[in-house]
Structure 1
Amino acid sequence: MFPAAQGDVVKLHYTGRLTSGEVFDASPADRPLQFVIGKKEVIPGFEQAVVGMVRGEKKTVTVAADQAYGQILPEKIEAVERSRIPKEVVLNIGGKLEVTQHDGSRFYFEVLAVTESTVTLDANHPLAGKDLIFDIEMLDVTKNPKCESLFPD
């Protein structure tokens, strides 16, 4: 057994919780998470937490908001004119609003407030500003020869 390092393919199970204890995500029992360390496929703090783990190891880590989804950015919160949103769209506080751009990309907003003339929307990630707790169980670590040249010693 060797510890997980840059360029390795890791396979693991995890459960993600908020500091309140509420579970926000978990790997399905039949489908562990698999990713290459260093390719930025997961949040930075989670990736750092698995570096050095070996097959069969379990641990619990707290990932600060800055190493997860970042802090809440006020510039991502904006009040828009209600008339810019189609009347048939139901707007509930706490609800999600999907907006499709001309290029086909999609953005999701949380509805923070609704008045007759404005709708306040938040484009921050729902987990922004939150410290996250992860229970991690390393199932496998595999050296990835394709990635060794990407991460020189």
Structure 2
Amino acid sequence: MKELPVDKGTRVQLHFALKFQDGEVVDSTFEKEPATLEIGDENLPENFEAYLMGMKAGDRESYEVPPEKAFGQHNPNNVQTFKRHEFSADMVLEPGVMISFADARQSELPGVVCRVEGDEVEVDFNHPLAGRTLIFDVEILDVEPAKPTH
């Protein structure tokens, strides 16, 4: 069964690493337990799954993933300005601090403080990796048919 290629309906055991072009590692399983996922279960963004399609156990590849296939381009509309008094008084507000907001549907929306000036706090809701080209290293360890979910 070692010849089964990665496709919808397969369970894949793999090692992966996401890196910036300068080699800085964003996330990696190579030094840890491998990841196991089912293609289509949304554990891995669809664009990243697309790179795995057709790979077989033992295959190892490195892909350069442009922003539009990774986490999108940086969108200036996703940067919003709030007033200092809209936050609790004891909250640390300085560039780089991540704050969790609830969006209109009450789901969690993380934002990163990018500027604090006087009474203004600027928060960036873009994905932290937006606008970045990433290197996606992947090594397929095993591919098997996914178990029926019922």
User: What residue number does 1:151 align with?
Assistant: none
Residues 93 and 145 (structure 1), Cα distance of their counterparts in 2 relative to 1, 3 Å cut: closer
1:52 matched residue in structure 2:
54
Question: Secondary structure of the equivalent of 2:85?
Answer: helix
**Structure 1 length normalisation: TM-score?**
0.86
The aligned counterpart of 2:101 is: 99
The answer for unaligned runs of 5 or more in structure 2 is none
TM-score, normalised on structure 2?
0.87
The percentage of counterpart residues that share the same residue type is 31
Contact residue 17 and residue 30 of structure 2 kept, 8 A: no
Structure 2: distance between partners of 1:106 and 1:145? 31
- The root-mean-square deviation of aligned C-alpha atoms, in Å, is 2.0
Aligned residues: 147
Q: Provide Cα deviations, 1:43-89, integer angstroms capped at 9, x if missing partner.
A: 22320111111101111011121111111122211011111111211
Asked if residue 38 in structure 1 is aligned to residue 51 in structure 2, the reply is no
- Quick one: distance in 1 between partners of 2:47 and 2:59? 18
Q: Which residue of 72, 75, 82 maps to 1:73?
A: 75
**How far apart are the structure 2 equivalents of 1:68 and 1:40?**
14
CA distance in 2, matches of 1:138, 1:96: 34
- CA 103–44 in structure 1, closer or farther in 2 if over 3 Å, else same: closer
Show structure 1 runs of 5+ residues with no match. 148-153
* Corresponding residue to 1:114 among 113, 116, 124: 116
**Equivalent residue of 1:39, what SS?**
coil
